[in-house]
Structure 1
């Protein structure tokens, strides 16, 4: 079939297998051009099919020469429906890793479930014996707990309503949006989904099964951002979940002797998660323009390579006063934020194309789904049915 992008809200409902392969190959080639990293050799990546999770897996494999086991929750092609971008990304990753003799297996299913935890543990026991790094990069709108209860997360404030600028990326119209206040139940449910409870469950399961290597590390990802996003992010319902995630990092380090857990605070980037948050896409489009002009812009792969090469395996690991790795250091430079703030005050529908990088935002958005990549013939007839080598399909 000839596959074209079809969007609904902040997601693309189609994905292009050749475009996703080109996107993964571009990230792999970036890492291969960089100096090698002396780091983990057996890595479990939870949430490995896109964004920071995929970039983490690529960095582990092609910078550390690590064996990687990935957990994804993606759909293969079915009838006239394409597979998800994460499915195609994973197929491309495994193909490229195995071509270089690197172990790469993937388990497809709900990472919150007990069944997937047990399947991962059995795979580690049979293939790797132990893992020395666990990357926790899950981003989900809901979670079904072991007792069968399903919790849903919300993107709301925890204080008063918050009103600020936002953008309709399709029409490029700048308007105001009001973020409503979350109830106590909504906050608690968001913490259940996006907090550290499942991260701790994973580490307890791995430790209990004896598949965590001595001196193993684990890392989860977070975001802080500037003051203008704080009411609906840092101090919002999702921020409460991220605070719980930070506490969980400390709990894991204290609970498991020799295991060190870190929270990596990353840069604002176009991901399926960030695209859903009001105000943030407009902020990102301004940030992109400023950081590109200053020569400081990084995408997911540049961020994760820097995490692996400069931070995670350093001795000691460089952290802030609260023990967090700060990969948002370039984004939060005063000179960057001063320029972003000045533009934010001036921004309107009339000048948004001059003051913000809307085209750059859209380019990154479509690339997530395999569209807009150079060297790909998007008019060609391609098969949407692409197997992941290690998954029976």
Structure 2
């Protein structure tokens, strides 16, 4: 069938299998062009199908020669409905990994559930006899069902304390407007922490520890974002930011539990990029469009794969992992350079609908948004019919 993008709000409801495969191949090619990385050999990636999680799996496999198990929750094609982009990404990744002689298997289901944790541990015991030396936690979900009580929790993108009004952009229309975000109540704050905080990361690590499948010296890393003061009211000081702080605080407890294995837990604070989650946050897409303009002009722009290669090559596997005073790995360092932020702040004050396309990189932001779903990808002929029924080899 002919597959075209169908955008509703900040989500594209279709995905292009050939375009997604081309995006995965681009990331693989980038990693293969880098010097061989010293790093993990048996890697579990929780949230492995898109964004930073996918980039982590690709980097571990094609940069370090690692065996990987990826956990994700994606939909395969059904009738005229395409599969989700993460499904196509995972199919393409596994195909290339197997072609290169690399072990790669996937588990599809709700990573918050006890059942998926148990399935994953069974696979690790069966195929690896344990010895997982890196656990990447990269889940992004708007809801979570508690594995014990069955209660359904949903996150919200709101401020805390006071409403917040500032500029925002309609990405597709190319118009700058104003948005007011209302404060969350106590239940909404707690629910967002339940979904996006560190509780599930802790549960995963507890389950893996109890099962005895972690290697001596194991590392685990989760991803977070801080950003500039400009976005603090909606991000760092909003509901999502409080949840991320809970995620970051989980490191202390994990490090205590990993002491017997000489293991360590880290948070990597990553750069602002176009993701399905970020596209939903008011203010952030306009900030990202201006940031892209400044960083590209300074030849500092990175995507997910460039960020994660730098994480592996310059941070996570150094003899002494470089962290800031709060114990965080910062690969958002180029984004947060004072000269970069000064230029973005100056552009923020100027930006309007009339000058948006001149002083921002909204075009680049849009293209990356479409590329999340396999569209606007170089070398892909979108006028051709494609088979949307693509299998993830290990899930057949």
TM-score by length of 2: 0.98
Tell me which moved more, 373-382 or 17-26. 373-382
Residue 183 (structure 1) aligns with: 185
Per the TM alignment, residue 129 of structure 1 is displaced from its structure 2 partner at its CA by: 1.9
2:323 corresponds to 1:319: yes
Paired with 1:22 and 1:313, the residues of 2 have a C-alpha distance of 29
Could you tell me whether the CA contact under 8 Å between 1:121 and 1:211 is conserved in 2?
A: yes
| C-alpha deviation, 1:162, in angstroms | 0.6
Q: State the secondary structure of the residue aligned to 1:224.
A: coil
| 3-state SS, counterpart of residue 135 of structure 1 | strand
Say which SS state the counterpart of residue 371 (structure 1) adopts.
coil
**Aligned partners of 1:265 and 1:328: how far apart in 2?**
6
- Say which of 239, 242, 258 aligns to 2:241: 239
Mapped to 2, the partners of 1:242 and 1:228 lie a distance apart of: 17
TM-score between both structures, scaled by the size of structure 1: 0.99
Cα deviations by residue, 1:132-171 (Å, 9 ceiling, x for unpaired): 0000000000000011001000011112101110011121
**Structure 1: which 5+ residue stretches go unaligned?**
none
- 1:1-393, aligned counterparts within 5 Å? 1-130=1-130, 131-146=132-147, 147-257=149-259, 258-392=262-396
Matched-pair contact (CA < 8 Å) for 2:75–2:87:
yes
Corresponding residue SS for 2:60: helix
Structure 1 stretches (4+) deviating beyond 6 angstroms?
none
Shift of 1:256: 2.3
Query: Across the two proteins, how many residue pairs are aligned to each other?
Result: 392
Q: 1:189-235, CA deviations, whole angstroms, 9 ceiling, x for partnerless residues? A: 00000000000000000000000111100000000000110011100
Cα distance in 1 for partners of 2:128, 2:310 equals 26
> Unaligned stretches of 5+ in structure 2?
none
SS for the counterpart of 1:164 is strand
Residues 16 and 374, structure 2, Cα contact 8 Å, conserved in 1 = yes
In the alignment, the residues of structure 2 paired with residue 216 and residue 379 of structure 1 have an alpha-carbon distance, to the nearest angstrom, of 47
Deviations 1:344-384 (A, max 9, x none): 00011110110110110011001111111111111111110
Counterpart CA distance in 2 for 1:308 and 1:94 is 21
Contact 1:252 1:259 in 2 (8 A): no
Give the superposition deviation at 1:255: 2.1
Partner SS, residue 295 of structure 1 = coil
| C-alpha distance in 1 between matches for 2:179 and 2:80 | 37
* Alpha-carbon distance in 2 for matches of 1:358, 1:158: 29
Look up the SS of the partner of 2:384 in the other structure: coil
CA contact (8 A) 2:172 2:366 kept: no
**1:172 & 1:237 partners in 2: Cα distance?**
27
Which whole-Å CA distance do the structure 2 matches of 1:129 and 1:156 have between them?
A: 44
